[in-house]
Structure formats: C-alpha cells, structure tokens
Amino acid sequence: MLTHAYFMAEADNIVARYESVFHSRPGDEASTLLFLPLAHVFGRMVQVAAVRCRVKLGHQPELSAAALLPDLRAFRPTFILAVPHTFERVFAAARRSAEAAGKAGPFDKAFEVAVRHAEAAERQAFGAGPGAALRVQRQLYEKLVYGKIREAMGGRIRHAMSGGSAMERRLGLFFAGAGITIYEG
C-alpha cells in the first residue's frame, strides 16, 4: 500500500538528494513539464515533490514528438522526467538532423567530446578534471550542437530524471557533456 505519508517522505528524500533540480535560481524559476503517465510510482513521486517545492508544473498528455516538442519549447522546463527511450529518441532525432544537413561527422565528434568531457568531470573528484584542450572543444560544440539540443527541449533544461529501465552509459555521458545532467531513478 502506498500511503500519503509514504509519498511525502519519498518526496522529501528526493528533494533533499536532488536539491538543485527542485529549487529555483534567482531569476530562473524551476519548472517541469511531465508527459509520462503518472500511474508509475516514480513519476507520481516527482510530481508530488514538484508540488511540495512549488515548482512550476505542466502536463502534456501526448507522447508524440509533434505534440511534445512545441510544448517543451513553449513551457521551457528546467528539468524533465522521461524513460531512457525518450532520450534515445532525442539523440536519434538530433543525429538524423545533422546527417540531413551533411554534418554527421561533426555531430559524431561532438558526441565523443561530450562523453570524454563528462568522464573527465566525473574523475575531477579524484584529481584533475577536463583539460584545456577538451574544454575548448566542448565550447566549440556547445555552439554547434549542445545548445541546439537544449533549445529543442525548451532552452532552459539543466537536469532530467530517467526511470523505468537503465540508460546506456555513453548516452547519459553525452547528455551530461551537453549540459543536461540525467539522474536515474
């Protein structure tokens, strides 16, 4: 049985653990656009945490890209909740777009730079982080690739929560290197 007390305790736990996701920055109100069915306990818990923290909360009941992408751009969330397949689709759409523009090679290079940058950032707790050359490469691809991906997701997205199944590690590293930290629930 999932009680109200359970949901409140779980919401408080997730907010305490992921404080930067649920709290607004000066001039940048935290917001999320939920689009997954809320029958899943993880989605419901994020919804309760958002309400509890006074996060601006929107709902888009249709999962099609044609319905979701315009609403992401209009609502401009700072974080989203999705299943790994959604992130795979975002990545695949960005890759197809680059390929259609004749820029598949630079996109693939941007992917590798993002992964290497995120791996180096992970190691930073144990010593040196991303070196100067890697930081410069990341800045270049920020303008060419990463910023465009974030813009397609509303332009303000900094975090995401992924649930339902495990995400492929390199895909998660790509998004981290592109400026979107994905927490797996």
The tokens describing 180, both together, are 């979107």
Q: How confident is the model at residue 134 (pLDDT cuts 50, 70, 90)?
A: very high
What is the structure's pLDDT at 155?
95
What are the pLDDT digits (tens) for 22-57?
Answer: 998 888 899 999 987 777 788 888 899 999 999 999
Residue 79, pLDDT > 90, answer: yes
Q: Which domain holds residue 87?
A: 4-184
* Domain of residue 124, CATH code: 3.40.50
> What's the domain count of the chain?
1
Max Cα-Cα span within the chain:
54
3 state DSSP class of 93: helix
% residues pLDDT > 70 (the chain):
100
